[in-house]
Amino acid sequence: MKAFSDHFINRRDALTGFLQFFSAVALAKPLGTLAANAPAIGMPHRRLGALDVSAVGLGCMPMNSDIYNPPRDTAAMTRLIHAAFDAGVTFFDTAEVYGPFINEELLGGAVRDRRDRVIIATKFGWEIDYATGRRSGDLDSRPEHIREAVERSLKRLGTDYIDLIYQHRVDPRIPIEDVAGTVNDLIAEGKVRYFGMSEPGLATLRRAHAVCPVAAVQNEYSLLTRDPENGLIAVCEELGIGLVCWSPLGIGYLTGTIDENTRFDEPGYTDYRLTNPRFTPEARRANRPVVDLLIDWAKRKDATPAQIALSWLLAQKPWIVPIPGTTKEAHLRENIGAARVTWEPGELAEFNRSLSQIRIHGARLTPRLLALSEVEAPMKR
């Protein structure tokens, strides 16, 4: 237990060091050199296709959704989004289904006075009753539904364009040519700037890209879930598509703060980790070697386990962008600090050798959700 306690002492020291660094940068800027509300200098940027974004984005789902916990205070989450922007984050991710609806409203309200300096990504593709918010669990990417979803997202976000619109999951009933063609029309109309897909089959991704260039694919990718290495990364590199990593910290497991005794059934919570096979007590105990590896490297690189996990993703390709979510400013600062952690080629090779010896236990999603990933859309007749 001493090593584990030492880790948290180091984690606090690393966070304190980053906050001091961040404050020094902010204080060093001459007054008047930046427009009001302009993001802080220092966060590197990356390209998702032709779209320029901060190297670390912010996943807004945990702030105001019913997937992890009850909705948080809107004012507090607005302050968190502002803190992210002030720290250099320009890339914010949401979806109509988060809440549903209220997550888009939160983000839209928070960035309204700085809309031209942020990149908003949202998603369509689920069957939702717009009157009641009821979600059937079915998919719906019919062209007429895409148009309705985009119009409603624009209204909730309080904007007249969406920077990046993802198909949330491939609809097995709708040819992807119809989906991509509809998004292409929305781009021509100025309502959408770029097209993205989430968890698509590789053949479907190629077909979509041939109709409307895909700027980004959003897939789960982390040290716990390395599925994109089985073909997706190669296709993205070939086609010039960026990869956005959802759950880059393994739904919190890679921070080192979760073990087999952690509870996800607090009163009022609807945390889906309760049914996630990777979060059974047995799987959490069995996957502990990954956390131990992160703790070891965090000490070596004067960082935290979360920063090591995120910086490892950043080191894989220059067009990979993680979007960790959080509801706490300290964790936000910690995640952003991953952008300053660098890897020498030898270090990365050593880390990967150790990682290759670790077997990950438990499926990443429930069978029902896994069945919605890597789906191939039907051919257009």
Element holding 183 (H helix, E strand)? helix 176-188
Q: Which amino acid appears at position 32 of this protein?
A: G
Across-strand partners of 91?
119
Closest CA to 297 of 22, 56, 14: 14
Give me the helix-helix angle, 232-239 and 202-211, nearest 10°.
20
The token pair that represents 373 in the structure block? 């990933």
DSSP per position, 155-175: HHHT-S-EEEEEESS--TTS-
Q: Which of 68, 98, 166, 194 is catalytic?
A: 98
What Å distances lie between residue 318 and 45, 297, 315, CA to CA? 10, 22, 7
- Is 98 assigned a catalytic role? yes
* CA–CA distance, 334 with 249 (Å, rounded to integer): 12
Closest CA to 218 of 51, 44, 102, 380: 51
Query: Cis bond leading into 228, ω under 30°?
Result: no
Q: Which distant-in-sequence residues (6+ apart) come within 8 Å of 218 by Cβ?
A: 93, 121, 166, 196, 197, 198, 199, 243, 244, 245, 246, 323
Other Cβ atoms closer than 10 A to 230? 10
In the sheet with 320-322, reading across from the earlier edge strand, the strands are: 58-59, 91-93, 119-124, 162-167, 192-198, 214-220, 242-246, 320-322
- What DSSP designation does 279 have? G
List the catalytic residues.
98
